[in-house]
Amino acid sequence: MLERIHLEIFTAIKEHGTLTKAANSLHLSQSALSHSIKKLEGQLSTQLWKKDGRSLRLTTAGERIQTLADRVLPQFSHTELLLNQISKGEMGALRIGMECHPCYQWLLRVIQPYLAHWPDIDMDVKQEFQFGALGALLSYEIDVLITPDPLFVPKVDYIPVFEYEHRLVVSQSHKLAQLDFILPEQLSDESLFSYPVEPLRLDIFSQFLNPAKCSVKKHKYIETTEIMLQMVAAGRGICALPGWLVDEYSKSMPIKSIRFGEQGINKQIFIGIRKDEQKLDYLSDFIAQAKKTK
């Protein structure tokens, strides 16, 4: 009984708020839209929405259909895009989701040679994800997930592309700068700068401070890597970043990185892709390019 047009109607009403605007967006008359839903309600023997003043409120049955629409329609759009590109002899599109704030500089080095080799590939990079991009990958909003903290699920393959050490960053004049490694209690009087991510998802807390039941004096969020490192270089506080990134910035800034404990915090960057697309040439080549880019 359910057809794609029903899902599109529910999504249009959710987006536009009224029957008239929803009908216009779908190039239907309002009466045709209403008739389609009334016919579906008759087939299902249940009401799908109720009027609440000038707006519409979904019933429990209507909410179930809306949930289905949110999940299925992006997959329709994605598959149609791929089929259209195949019919035109094009290779595809690559939408990348980032769960790694400091990895953008690394990604730029991956993208440049990749685009030169795949001139017909469209690319988009979405950096708004702090965590939660796995849902976007599974719902076909993105095609590739870059993360240092994979959540393993049956429908996604995670490919490790390079290893790195997560390190403490201080100014060259900081009292800790001459140490080979630091202990958790040595950070108790420090001001920590980090990206706007909850502390439990930050390695300096989850793998270093929290196990030792230690903390820092202050914790402040800064969104951009450059500003964060400027603050550290000025002696305003400390931060924690991948060692390879600190090495790049230390060439032009008075900063130094220090190991967390004697063993350090060792990490990997992973690329996550949907299992049913792992054999696509342009995806496998992107992964190969990422593996050889340090």
pLDDT in tens, 97-115: 988 888 888 898 899 999 9
Specify the pLDDT at position 105.
81
Specify the pLDDT at position 145.
93
With bands split at pLDDT 50, 70 and 90, how would you rate the model's confidence at 196? confident
Specify the pLDDT at position 216.
96
Alpha helices in 3-103 (DSSP H): 4-16, 19-25, 30-44, 60-87
Q: How many CB atoms lie within 10 A of CB 11?
A: 19
Cβ 177 vs Cβ 186: under 8 Å: no
Task: Report long-range pairs for 217-223 (Cβ below 8 Å, ≥24 apart).
Answer: 217/188, 217/189, 217/190, 217/191, 218/190, 218/191, 218/192, 219/191, 219/192, 219/194, 220/191, 220/192, 220/193, 220/194, 221/193, 221/194, 221/195, 221/196, 222/193, 222/194, 222/195, 223/195, 223/196
Specify the pLDDT at position 92.
67
Please give the share of the chain, as a percent, with pLDDT higher than 90.
Answer: 55
Specify the pLDDT at position 277.
78
With bands split at pLDDT 50, 70 and 90, how would you rate the model's confidence at 85? low
- Cα–Cα dist 153/151, whole Å: 6
Specify the pLDDT at position 133.
82
With bands split at pLDDT 50, 70 and 90, how would you rate the model's confidence at 91? low
Mean pLDDT to the nearest integer, 220-224: 92
Give the tens place of pLDDT for each residue, 134-144: 888 988 888 99
Rg (CA), the chain: 25
Mean pLDDT to the nearest integer, 14-18: 84
Specify the pLDDT at position 282.
83
Specify the pLDDT at position 283.
86
Specify the pLDDT at position 130.
54
Taking 50 as the threshold, does the pLDDT of residue 193 lie above it?
yes
Specify the pLDDT at position 129.
57
Specify the pLDDT at position 89.
47
Specify the pLDDT at position 74.
86
- Give the tokens for residue 102: 């400091």
- Cα–Cα dist 133/165, whole Å: 23
Specify the pLDDT at position 52.
73
